Structure 1
Amino acid sequence: MKIRNILLRTAEIFKFIRNFFKEALFPPYETKEILNQCYIVGYRSLFLICFTAFLAGIVFTKQSRPSLSSFGAESWLPSLVSQAVVRSLGPLITGLICAGKLGSNIGAELASMQVTEQIDAMEVSGTRPFSYLVVTRVVATTLMLPLLVVFADVVALLGSFMMVNSINSTSFALYFNEAAASITYTDIWSSVIKSALFGFAIGIISSYAGYHSDKGTTGVGKAANIAVVISMMFIFIIDLIVLQIVNLFFR
């Protein structure tokens, strides 16, 4: 019975994804609501992501410096930090924060609308609830995650520079020249693709959890919990898959 339920749920998820692309690729588009969701996803998450990335840059630098110093390779620190931040640390920090913040919000919001039958009312009134509620949120998370990752990368490197500067009085230009020299185009585009996939996974999983939540008040909390946990799990899965593909074919 459990295997059957898993297969049925998997089929429902693929049907949900198919409906998303069907609604997203053909007009009419909910442009105004997409922009509103982009504001919610991007601007309202920016401070938390930048603050966390800044601290992560400081901590990573502080932990890495003694190991490099023991080998006399402290000059490699900017290169090490920049590669770690751009390739993995920045996207992961952004993805996990958004999974916790946005995933719970989207899951709980749609579940609440499902419980109070607002979605049914939208269907009766002729509104396209799937396009208005699901497509807009998934598109917003997919578009905004790469932009948030860019901010996270820059702020994390800034935190790293401040730590290095406080110890060695390294100049701003020297640090960022060395950091930028070690970053390749492969690092950049793989980070962008990875973060976009993170955003899509967060949006589609959270929307599915809320849109198909159980009836009753417990359904809201359950939907939010499922959205966060499953989104975080898929972030690590996507990160591993993209990393393996890039290392296998492009490095």
Structure 2
Amino acid sequence: MGRGTKNLLSQAGFTLRLLFESLYYTKDIIVRRREIVKQMYLAGVKTLLVCSMVGLFTGMILALQSGIEMREFGQQALIGGLVVASMLREMGPFMSGLILAASVGSAMAAEVGAMKVYDEIDALELMLINPVRFLVMPRVVALALVMPIISIYIDVLACLGGAIVAKQVLQVSYNVYMKYLLQAVHFKSMYVGLLKAFVFGLIVSSISCAYGLRADGGVLGVGHATRTSVVASFLMVLIIGYYITSIFYG
């Protein structure tokens, strides 16, 4: 077994242990509520502009590309249903996962990594303060709670963007668009999408904090940990998203 494989397995095991330990310390949510709210604000409110632009233009692109093809068969009126089904099941959770991994996850890895290389983590342990309970758990809980909200927000804006394209480009009225959109909204699609977003929140926060806690080598080590955490988060969002979809729709 090569060194790279050993490092990968070691990092995966450490990340899983960190996730389960964080879930164990959720019993202290009330005690750490201020930090959780702070992290939710940083993860949610601070990313609203980016999420707004991504959601709006994702819906517009989806409606434009699909609508043009559907117009060849005279079925462009169904575009509302296609947009909402795609966003609820896949694109909403997927886009929110990638956005928060790139913005919030990288910030988490950098922050925790800086604390690691400057011996602040060791200082916490010397004061008998558990770093997972103090630092990691609030971030894991915050991102797991915020991710479904961001996913819904992106879904709504994507449907709005799709409506604009449907009206202006495909000549589909808002009433017809909304009619087929509402027909395509199913409870299963909603809870599968929210489940994905929740799981993505757990994954991204755990991976980011795990790489931060294992950072070494000074500033360069923090940069490497941050970059690697984003790549790992992207891959896991794709992989876990596939398996959740296959479980419910396979």
Shorter-chain TM-score: what band?
over 0.9
Deviation at 1:73, TM superposition (A): 1.1
Residue range with higher mean Cα deviation, 76-85 or 135-144: 76-85
Match of 2:33 in 1: 31
Letter in 2 for 1:201: I
Query: How do 1:135-150 and structure 2 match up within 5 A?
Result: 135-150=137-152
Instruction: State the Cα RMSD in Å.
Output: 1.7
Match of 2:236 in 1: 234
Classify the secondary structure of the residue corresponding to 1:217: helix
Letter in 2 for 1:180: L
Match of 1:210 in 2: 212
Classify the secondary structure of the residue corresponding to 2:163: helix
Identity rate of aligned residues, in percent?
27
- The answer to whether residue 23 in structure 2 is matched with residue 21 in structure 1 is yes
Letter in 1 for 2:43: V
What TM-score comes out, normalization by structure 1 length? 0.92
Q: Work out whether residues 39 and 139 of structure 2, in 8 Å CA contact, stay in contact via their aligned partners in 1.
A: yes
Match of 1:187 in 2: 189
Partners of 1:160 and 1:199 in 2: CA distance: 26
Distance 1:8 1:126, change over 3 A: closer
In the alignment, structure 2 segments of 5+ residues that lack a partner are none
Deviation at 1:77, TM superposition (A): 1.1
Match of 1:196 in 2: 198
Partners of 1:28 and 1:170 in 2: CA distance: 50
Query: How do 1:74-153 and structure 2 match up within 5 A?
Result: 74-153=76-155
Partners of 1:162 and 1:98 in 2: CA distance: 26
Partners of 2:7 and 2:104 in 1: CA distance: 27
Deviation at 1:161, TM superposition (A): 0.3
Distance 1:28 1:154, change over 3 A: closer
Partners of 1:5 and 1:222 in 2: CA distance: 14
Partners of 2:163 and 2:122 in 1: CA distance: 53
What TM-score comes out, normalization by structure 2 length? 0.93
Distance 1:177 1:201, change over 3 A: same
Q: Work out whether residues 61 and 164 of structure 1, in 8 Å CA contact, stay in contact via their aligned partners in 2.
A: yes
Partners of 1:12 and 1:91 in 2: CA distance: 25
Q: Work out whether residues 77 and 176 of structure 2, in 8 Å CA contact, stay in contact via their aligned partners in 1.
A: no
Letter in 2 for 1:142: A
Distance 1:60 1:26, change over 3 A: same
In the alignment, structure 1 segments of 5+ residues that lack a partner are none
Distance 1:168 1:22, change over 3 A: closer
Q: Work out whether residues 114 and 215 of structure 1, in 8 Å CA contact, stay in contact via their aligned partners in 2.
A: no
Deviation at 1:218, TM superposition (A): 1.3
Deviation at 1:216, TM superposition (A): 1.6
Query: How do 1:42-61 and structure 2 match up within 5 A?
Result: 42-61=44-63
Letter in 1 for 2:247: I
User: How many residues in Structure 1 have an aligned counterpart in Structure 2?
Assistant: 248
Deviation at 1:39, TM superposition (A): 0.5
